[in-house]
Structure formats: structure tokens, C-alpha cells
A and B are shown apart, each in its own frame.
Chain A
Amino acid sequence: MRAPSDQFAPAVCGTVRSRFADRADVTALLAAFCFFLSAIEYMLPKPLPFMRLGIANLPILLAVDLLPFQWFLVLAAAKVVGMSIVSGTLFSYVALFSLAGTLVAALVMRGVRRAGGRMVSLVGVSIAGAVTSNAMQMLIARFVIFGEVAWLIAPLFLVTGLVTGTVMGFFAEFFIEHSTWYSCAMGKSDERDLADVLDEAPSDDSGQGSVAAGSKNAGLATAAAANTSAAPPARARKNAGRFARRERYERFCVPWISALLGFIIAVVFLLQQGILVKLVFLALFIGWTWFAGKRFSLISTVVVSIGIVAANLLIPSGRVLFKLGPLAITQFALTEGISKALTFEGLMYLSKAAIMPGLHFPGRFGAIIAQAFQYYDRIIEYRGKVRAKTVVRDVDALMRRVWASAKASQEWPAGGTPESMDQTQA
């Protein structure tokens, strides 16, 4: 069954092909998928706070062959900035981890692809990227949060990179082979029988209600919609209160002033040495986050903090306070751990509170981020299903629909159309 309003269907890529020449637009769409996948990743349970599957790197993996080098870098940067705004971590260490990991992985992936040519597939590219990204994040963890003990979790981090990198690589290879969108973007549509794929595409735009929240559809869209559709009454009430606070806050606060204020406070906060002062700051930041109507979890804060303190205690240093079995709890290691945990969590809350979704960046890069957020909204509003069984086809349908719908509405950001941006770039 053919999707009636699918703009890809009648002329395959014909009507939209010219848009693929617009690198800014393609970059924005891929960046939007980075944001979306990182939001999905955020919702998945993790065995360790810093452990990630790396699914948000999939669009970057797809872009290795798709985008010219400078746009490829723009995509990596847009991913970091956009993700930091979505999760509100722009001023925290998490953004630092993300920036270093993503940029190094992007460069390595590109380098491997260029050097390897036909000898390497996206599987190898993905493994190289994932492992270097995790290694880079380990180095930062070593010098910023955990200290020497970070080496203890290094093998675990690298193994995770190896496994997820392999899986993502296979998925990406499989995806590009079957994706109509990718095929159009690469200008290869004539070589394949796209009609087949399109004929089989699910009629995902019939508008017959919300994204299915059934157990069979444990897919991407379901996860995004779960918050609103299946919340129990108590939680719904709590959320309603939070949304009301958020609305009130956003009415009175200008995003860029809030961000600037947050940045200045972050610098002041980082200069503090005393644990008590840091604790007071943290309490204020939590209050601010609550007031701003942002979602947060005190349990997660406590768990992560205990993890950071415990990691620091493993290397004893200073006066022995007491002994827990073979482990001596030492004063210096304890205060150092608490201080690092307070800094980490403080920046996290400050960032959450100060970064508002309406934050815009100036210039052409800002326009791409804004464009990506518009695509992101389309992805979240998408009414189709993404099933585990037909994930490649469903995601491809999602990409085509989001791509086509943005064109139909012509909602280009202030500062010119992507076409004009591309011309100035060229």
C-alpha cells in the first residue's frame, strides 16, 4: 500500500533531489536524528551512569559518505550543542565528555573511511569511532572526575565501545542498503528499484491517533510518546505541576539571558573550594531547576554521587578515618570525592536550570541548529510506528516523512533559507 501523501512516492527522488544538494539542510536533518536518538538513549536504563550505547552516533556514521568534510564537522558540533540543549547539560562535564568523544570519533571515522576505501565497511568505521570515543572519555574521566581509579573501568568502557560499535556498524550497513532516503541523498536512486520499497512502506500518515503504545511496538516513537500517554494519575499530576512551573518560568525568562547568567554562575561555582559552600550552591541549583519546571531525579543524583565518592575512596589518601574490611576510608580521598561529586552534580543542575529550549545561537551555525530543532519537533510529532521487526523500513519512512514535511511547510529559520546558506558557504 502506498502512502498517499508521501512526496517520495510519485517521482521517487525527483521532487526533492535538489534539496539533497543543500548540505545545510541534510546536516540539520541528521543532527535532528542525533538529538532524537540521544533522547531515546537517555531513557534507556544504563548499568553505569556514563555508559552509553552510542546510538546517537548513528547519523554521524551515515554522514561519513554523505557529507563533505566541513559539513561532517558541522554535524558533529551540532550534535554536541543540540544534545546539550535537549538534555540541559551544556555547562556540565557531560558536555565536555560529549564534545571530546564525538569530535575524536568523527575525525577517526572519517579518516578510517578515507584511508580504507573499499577495504573497509561501516562496521570497521563504526568500531574505530566507538572505541576511540570511549577511550577519549576515559581520559577525561581520569583527569576530571574519578582520578587514578578511572583506569579500573577502562577495560569495561573499551569493551562496551567494541560491542556497540560493531552492532551499530552492522545496523548502519544494513540501513544504507535498504534506505530510500539515503539512496536519494547519495544520488543513486536510479540504480535501484525503489518502487518496491515504497510500495511496501506502512501507511504511517493516516492520522488515526497516537503512536501505538502497545507492547509489540517497543520502538523509538513509542518511547518518545510514553511520557504523555501512559503516565499514572499521580505522576500525571506531578507532571502537570511541573509543566505549569515551566510555562510560568519561560514566560518571564529570556533564554539567552538565562544562559549567560548560568555561564557566569558556573564560573563562580567552579572557583569554590569549600565543600559546604558547594553544597549550598548545589541546593540552590536544585531549587532553580525545580522552579524552572525541569525534570530531575534526586535518586539518580545520589546514586551518581555515591559512585564518584566510592571511586575516589578506592585510592586511599590522608588520615585513616575507619576501615571497611580491607578498604581504608581516608579523609583526603573522601573530601576530594565529595567535592568532585558536588561539582559534577552542581554543574548538571545549573545547566538544566539555565539552558532553556528556546536558546538560539547566532550565525549560520545557529540557523542549522534551529533548523535541526524544527526537524526534531517533526520527529517527535511523527505518528507512524517503528517496530523492532521492520526497524530499517520504518525508520526510513520516518526520515522521508520528516524530510518531506519540513519542505511542505517551508519553515526555514530566520537568517535565510538553507539554499541561501549553502550558496554563501559555496
Chain B
Amino acid sequence: MKLNSRVRVRFLDIVIFSLAAALVVGTSLLVLNRQSGTRYVQMTGETGEWIAPLDKEADYEIPGPLGDTHVHIHDGLAAIVDSPCKNKLCILAGAISQPNQWVACLPNKVFVRIVSSSSNDNGGVDASAF
């Protein structure tokens, strides 16, 4: 005996399938968008290079010829909060968050810069460029 039958697809089946498909497409777009726009803090010292995601709170001690420069990352901002230099200009420069923004402690040879995984992510138009 052959089991001949056709499964009857109901209205809500199609609705649920469509919702699930929309969820798949939505998640894919979100992931693509999110991944391409991830920003990192790149910290370069005399002895090496460090990388950290900008959206995760962290503290880094970057060694230089004068001592350690302390970089604090929180709430999407990165700042030098302590450095063994004399004039403390790096601390006064404040926090950075946009791609290609940088702050440096020149006497201690520490350079902190925001980089993005996407070339399109330039952090919006810089009004001062006009």
C-alpha cells in the first residue's frame, strides 16, 4: 500500500514561516552592519601593539621609556587617564571615540588611535574640515 497524502499547509504556518524568514534576514543584515562598524582602540608603545574593542570596558598599561601610560576604555570612549610625562597634554586631550581620532603621549612614545573594521565608517562628516 502506498501512503498517498498531502500535508495541508494552513494560514498560520505561512505566517510563522514568513516571520521566521524575516528574522533570518533581519539578523543577517544586523550582523553585517554590526560587524562592519566595529571600532577598536589601537595602542602603540615602544615595545609592541595592543588592540581592544571600544565597546568593552577595559584598562591598559602601555609601557614607554618614562613608565606606563594608563589607557581607560569605557562607554565607547578611550582616554589616557595617567601618564608619566611632565605636561600631561595627553590627559588634557580628553577622550576619543571616532575612527581615525587619536591621542598621544609623545614623551612616553605612546600613541592611541581609534580604528574601524569598515572603510565606510568615518564617524560622520567632520564640520571643521569645511
With known contacts A112-B16, A120-B12, A320-B51, A392–B23 Cβ distance under 8 A: no
Residue pair A121, B9 in contact (C-beta under 8 Å):
yes
Nearest Cβ on chain B to A122's Cβ, whole angstroms: 8
Minimum CB distance partner of B31 in chain A = A151
B-contacting 9-mer, from A161-169, A288-296, A339-347: A161-169
Taking CB atoms, residues of chain A closer than 8 Å to B52 are: 316-318
Cα–Cα distance between A196 and B49 once the two chains are bound (Å): 76
Q: Within 8 Å of chain A (Cβ to Cβ): is B11?
A: yes
Taking CB atoms, residues of chain A closer than 8 Å to B7 are: 121, 123, 170, 173-174, 177
Taking CB atoms, residues of chain B closer than 8 Å to A178 are: 3, 5
With known contacts A131-B23, A154-B27, A155-B28, A317–B51 Cβ distance under 8 A: yes
Cα–Cα distance between A196 and B3 once the two chains are bound (Å): 11
Q: Within 8 Å of chain B (Cβ to Cβ): is A127?
A: yes
Instruction: Tell which of B5, B21, B51 touches A316, judged by Cβ atoms closer than 8 Å.
Output: B51
Residue pair A320, B50 in contact (C-beta under 8 Å):
yes
Q: Is the interface of A mostly helix, strand, loop or mixed?
A: helix
Cα–Cα distance between A352 and B87 once the two chains are bound (Å): 61
Taking CB atoms, residues of chain A closer than 8 Å to B16 are: 112, 120, 124, 127-128
Q: Place the interface of chain B in its size category.
A: 20 to 34
Q: Within 8 Å of chain B (Cβ to Cβ): is A426?
A: no
With known contacts A131-B20, A155-B24, A320-B49, A393–B3 Cβ distance under 8 A: yes
* Mask: chain B, 42-78; 1 = CB below 8 Å from A; 0 = not: 0000001111110010100000000000000000000
* Mask: chain A, 129-162; 1 = CB below 8 Å from B; 0 = not: 0010001000000000000100110110011011
Nearest Cβ on chain A to B40's Cβ, whole angstroms: 7
Instruction: Tell which of A120, A121, A328 touches B51, judged by Cβ atoms closer than 8 Å.
Output: A328
Minimum CB distance partner of A123 in chain B = B13
Residue pair B28, A124 in contact (C-beta under 8 Å):
no
Taking CB atoms, residues of chain B closer than 8 Å to A124 are: 10, 12-17
Q: Within 8 Å of chain A (Cβ to Cβ): is B35?
A: yes
Q: Place the interface of chain A in its size category.
A: 35 or more
Residue pair B56, A317 in contact (C-beta under 8 Å):
yes
Cα–Cα distance between A118 and B12 once the two chains are bound (Å): 9
Residue pair B27, A155 in contact (C-beta under 8 Å):
yes
* Mask: chain A, 172-187; 1 = CB below 8 Å from B; 0 = not: 0110011000000000
Q: Within 8 Å of chain B (Cβ to Cβ): is A192?
A: no
A169-B13, A320-B48 known, 16 other contacts, Cβ within 8 Å? A112-B16, A119-B10, A119-B11, A123-B7, A123-B9, A124-B12, A131-B23, A148-B53, A154-B27, A155-B24, A155-B31, A162-B17, A170-B7, A174-B3, A200-B1, A318-B52
18 pairs from A and B in contact (CB 8 Å cutoff)? A112-B16, A118-B10, A119-B10, A120-B12, A120-B16, A121-B13, A123-B7, A124-B14, A127-B13, A127-B20, A151-B34, A152-B31, A155-B31, A170-B7, A174-B5, A199-B1, A319-B50, A390-B3
What residues of chain A have their CB less than 8 Å away from a CB belonging to chain B?
112, 116, 118-121, 123-124, 127-128, 131, 135, 148, 151-152, 154-155, 158-159, 161-162, 165-166, 169-170, 173-174, 177-178, 196-197, 199-200, 315-320, 328, 330, 390, 392-393
